[in-house]
Structure 1
Amino acid sequence: MLAAMSTADLRSSPQAPPASRERGDACPGSLRLHTADDGALARIRVPGGVLTVRQARTLAEASARLGDGELHLTSRGNVQVRGLGAGCGGELAALLDTAGLLPSPGHERVRNIVASPLSGLDGRGRLDVRPWLTALDTALCASEPARALSGRFLFALDDGRGDVAGLDADVTLRAAADGGAELGLGSAGEALLVSVEDAPRAALAAAETFLQTVRATGTGVWRVDELPRAHGSFIDLVGRRLAGDGIGHERCVRDAGRTDGPAPGAVGAGLSAHVPFGRLAAPQWRELTDAAVGEMRLTPWRGVVLPTPRADVDASLGRLAAAGLVTDPSSPWVRVGACIGRPGCGRSRADVQADATEARAALAPGGLPLYWSGCERRCGHPRGDRIDVVAAPEGGYLLSTAVTGQEPRTITLDHPSRLATALAAITA
């Protein structure tokens, strides 16, 4: 049965900033594991999504030896290993450390940096953000105050094309048209224009200013957009910090970002593959590492970009497709996402990945992406316009539109097999 209902509990507009955080940040990491219904979970931060082939193979070894054998990509280009047994934390840490994936144990949960995955590969960005990535990660790991950042605090490095500038990062660097760099803070419409050379140092200064502001306000918040507005303008505080550090800057209007990543297929001097639900079995991961030349780039859209010689692209795409990865931009999989659902999560009301798989054939070309969630938390949901498909307490699902500038519409869906009818009704 399809029926209209209240959308109050499913609105996707930003929530009002909370006054405080009453509990500590429990975000998992490589050293702080999270207990799930399918075993312990480790989240390995991969700044910029960049892995050497050696590091990628170490992650596969860790999952095969200690976990469920799969590797799970997150919406921040990080990697999760699930199904970990009790008491394996030390062995996991040793493996990661040997591969260079734990450069600073005290900072391992705060190395949350996304970067334009095609930067330097397709000639469309204004600059290659790799120097920013290296400099920011090095400075972050050397900063004693930065250890106090939440595991949810996010940096974004955008080469000017706008792809990661729309991901709601706390601190965003975006290459500007005039050769400088926009320093964006949360979702503020203004930015600070700094030089390309000063950009990584300015980003870290903004993060440290955030921590000082949190202490001054006593709120304990985790994200820039949660700072109370009554305590002055955060951008002014950052500007004063930059001036004190000798970093020249000026205010500017911030360019709007996008929320879409690279389409599957050939991309400049490389290739792009989408990973359904971000889940990679061992043979799929092996195909990716075999096709990679030097490195892999994990994307915030649960995909992988591989720098690949042009002569090898077609053959590599064929092997990846045969392994079950998505290399066709017209595939319905590109528009389907889901949280882990049952049986991995005790909060989930449904096996959302199985239901989403069954229903994907109902997706016509074009249209909004769908994100399936086992509960109202909608863990890992993408930014941007979409349709949320949330398991309902009484069974079935609630479909709710999340479109910028439009009031949400919600209907009920009693079974995934009726998705086509539901989509026609909610988008009419």
Structure 2
Amino acid sequence: MLAAMSTAPHPSSSQATAVSRDGGDACPGALRLHAADDGALARVRIPGGVLTVRQATSLGDAARRLGDGELHLTSRGNVQLRGLRPACGAELAGLLEPAGLLPSPAHERVRNVVASPLSGLDGHGVRDVRPWLTALDAALCASTAAVTLSGRFLFALDDGRGDVAALGADVTVRATAGGAALLTLGGAREALRVSGEDAPRAALLAAEVFLEISRASGSGAWRVDELPVPVAELTAAVERALTRAGVGCAPAARDTGEAEGPAPGPVGSALCVHAPFGRFTAGQWRELTRAAAAFPPGELRLTPWRGVVVPAPGAEPDRAASVLARLAAAGLVTDAGSPWPRVGACTGRPGCATSRADVRADAARALTAVGRTPLPVYWSGCERRCGHPRGDHVDVVAAPGGGYRVTTAVQGRDPRGTLLDDPSGFAAALARTLP
């Protein structure tokens, strides 16, 4: 596996920062478009990153007919459509709803669920989390209270391998041996042990308790670690709520993990690819959809690491190699040794007005230097650092006066930074910041 997104220990509740949210959550959705410099932007939630071939085709059609033709993956495995006409909302909904991509318009922005993308495909993990995903999404869409969750609130369903458990979700459910699961809230050091059968219900109840405490505190917090109360108090409140609801639970130590995405290439009963910066051209998306259609069950799994897993049970090695060769010819990354999965960047110019640079072009110019560090490298156009990875990484931020500030951020060590005038000098900048 790639060491692409190794994750530092979670902060304790005393380290969390309470935030008061006076304004509404403006996070974009499929029905609430965001005005960007390159046109309107829609963010379509894809719980667990799971798409049928029909749904993937509908997304591709929407991008081609209404936007710039490309599909952009987010760090939560969702899809963004860019370059949209400002008044195309109704037409977009008309394309998404028949494909099952808008099961509840009232809940469309809160269906933020990541799940272990290789669950049930590679022999690792404790259990297949697909039943959890189906149950949680249905319960979420049926919950009246959940409508008021922020579009930034995140659920994570981990099959026990620790990949999505390390992504800093607000509610994490991680499978454990013996059929149980650990329920963890934000950066809490302690978890609650529940039965695997109760896990989806427990996750939703935890989110509803969060909403109650957020309202009672008057903070309007969007994320668990923004609450003005220690996360240990939230955990205790969730424990009481679960007990009242007849869900057995008990305190347990938290299991941490490392946020590592699937390596490109064949992995178990799946084919894995990576898209540089999570951007798929119309042609690349068509090739992916054709690849998925060639194998039952005809499915794509988008990952939080801006890649795609194509389940291919029973695929002969020669056939798998042929499909991967076509995807590579389309410009997707299929080589496990490629540095691309360790490079990320925000949208940058020209799509974002706040960005100071075309960070993606500069990151591509500096690609060959990435092999000099095992850490992921993330390029940001401003201090907001949209989409940056959690944990240890090389932080590259466009500076106000031009150039970049390069900082190696490693847990337990003082940050080491330097200035970078030109991306061609990135290797030397890395040498000055690495321990």
**Corresponding position of 2:304:** 300
Equivalent residue of 2:344, what SS?
A: strand
Alignment of structure 1 residues 225-244 onto 2, 5 Å: 225-229=225-229, 233-244=233-244
2:123 aligned with 1:114, yes or no? no
Instruction: Using the TM superposition, name which of 262-271 and 365-374 deviates more.
Output: 365-374
- Equivalent of residue 403 in structure 1, options 402, 410, 421: 410
Deviation at 1:23, TM superposition (A): 1.4
Partner of 1:41: 41
User: Equivalent of 2:315, from 286, 310, 313?
Assistant: 310
Matched residue type, 2:381: G
Could you list the per-position Cα deviations for residues 279-300 of structure 1 after superposition, in whole angstroms to 9, with x for gaps in the alignment?
0001100110111131100000
8 A Cα contact 1:409 1:426, kept in partner: yes
User: Could you tell me how far apart the structure 2 residues matched to 1:157 and 1:230 are?
Assistant: 23
> Could you report, residue by residue, the CA deviation over 1:349-404 in whole angstroms, capped at 9, with x for unpaired residues?
00000001111012226521110000000101112211010000000000111212
Inter-CA distance 13–35: structure 2 relative to 1 (3 Å threshold): farther
Instruction: State the match for 1:370 in structure 2.
Output: 377
1: CA distance, partners of 2:411 / 2:320: 37
The within-5 A match list for 1:27-426 is: 27-229=27-229, 233-292=233-292, 293=295, 294-308=298-312, 309-311=314-316, 312-364=319-371, 367-426=374-433
**Larger mean Cα displacement after TM superposition, 269-278 or 222-231:** 222-231
Query: What is the one-letter code of the residue matched to 2:191?
Result: A
Aligned to 1:233, the other structure's residue is in SS state helix
- Superposed CA deviations along residues 92-131 of structure 1, whole A, max 9, x for unmatched, are 0110001100000000000000000000000101000000
Q: What RMSD over aligned residues (CA atoms) do the two structures have, in Å?
A: 1.4
Consecutive unaligned residues in structure 1, runs of 5 or more: 1-11
Deviates more, 1:356-365 or 1:367-376: 356-365
Tell me if structure 2 keeps the 8 A contact 1:338–1:381.
yes
How far apart in 2 are the matches of 1:306 and 1:318?
A: 14
Please give the secondary structure, in 1, of the residue aligned with 2:236.
Answer: helix
Distance 1:13 1:207, change over 3 A: closer
Q: Is the 8 A contact 1:278 1:302 kept in 2?
A: yes
Q: TM-score, normalised by structure 1?
A: 0.95
1:59-104 deviations in Å (ceiling 9; x for gaps) = 0000000000000000000000000012111000110001100000
- Equivalents in 1 of 2:249, 2:275: separation in Å? 40
- Please give the alpha-carbon distance, in whole angstroms, between the structure 1 residues aligned to 2:203 and 2:100: 24
| Amino acid paired to 1:74 | T
Tell me which amino acid in the other structure corresponds to 2:342.
R
Is residue 20–residue 220 contact of structure 1 (8 Å, CA) maintained in 2? yes
| Structure 1 Cα separation of the partners of residues 334 and 411 of structure 2 | 29
TM-score scaled to structure 2, two decimals?
Answer: 0.94
Structure 1 counterpart of 2:233, one-letter code: S
- Quick check: 229-238 or 389-398, which moved more? 229-238
**Shift of the alpha carbon at 1:232?**
6.9
Measure, in 2, the Cα distance between the counterparts of 1:265 and 1:365. 22
Give the whole-Å Cα distance in 1 for the aligned partners of 2:232 and 2:327: 51
Q: Is the 8 A contact 1:372 1:389 kept in 2?
A: yes
Deviation at 1:231, TM superposition (A): 9.1
Matching residue of 1:24: 24
CA contact (8 A) 1:48 1:133 kept: yes
- The one-letter code sitting in structure 2 at the alignment partner of 1:340 is T
**Aligned amino acid, residue 66 of structure 1:** L
Report the alpha carbon displacement of residue 252 of structure 1 after superposing the two structures with TM.
0.2
Kindly tell me: are residues 75 and 283 of structure 1, through their superposed partners in 2, closer, same or farther at Cα, counting changes over 3 Å? same
Counterpart code for 1:318: A
Q: Give the whole-Å Cα distance in 2 for the aligned partners of 1:113 and 1:228.
A: 24
Note closer, same or farther for the CA distance 1:78–1:231 as it changes in structure 2 (3 Å cut): closer
Shift in Å, 1:13: 7.8
- Return the alpha-carbon distance in structure 2 between the equivalents of residues 343 and 363 of structure 1: 24
Shift of 1:18: 3.1
2: distance between equivalents of 1:222 and 1:97? 27
Could you say which residue in structure 1 is the equivalent of 2:3?
A: none
Q: Retained in 2: the 8 A contact 1:110–1:147?
A: yes
Q: What is the rounded CA distance, in whole Å, between the counterparts of 2:339 and 2:299 in structure 1? A: 28
Q: Which 4+ runs in 1 deviate beyond 4 A? A: 12-16
Equivalent residue for 1:6?
A: none
CA contact (8 A) 1:217 1:231 kept: no
2: CA distance between counterparts of 1:19 and 1:239?
24
Unaligned runs of 5+ in 2: 1-9
Structure 1 residues 16 and 256: CA distance shift in structure 2, 3 A: closer
Amino acid paired to 1:163 = D
Aligned residue for 1:285, secondary structure, equals helix
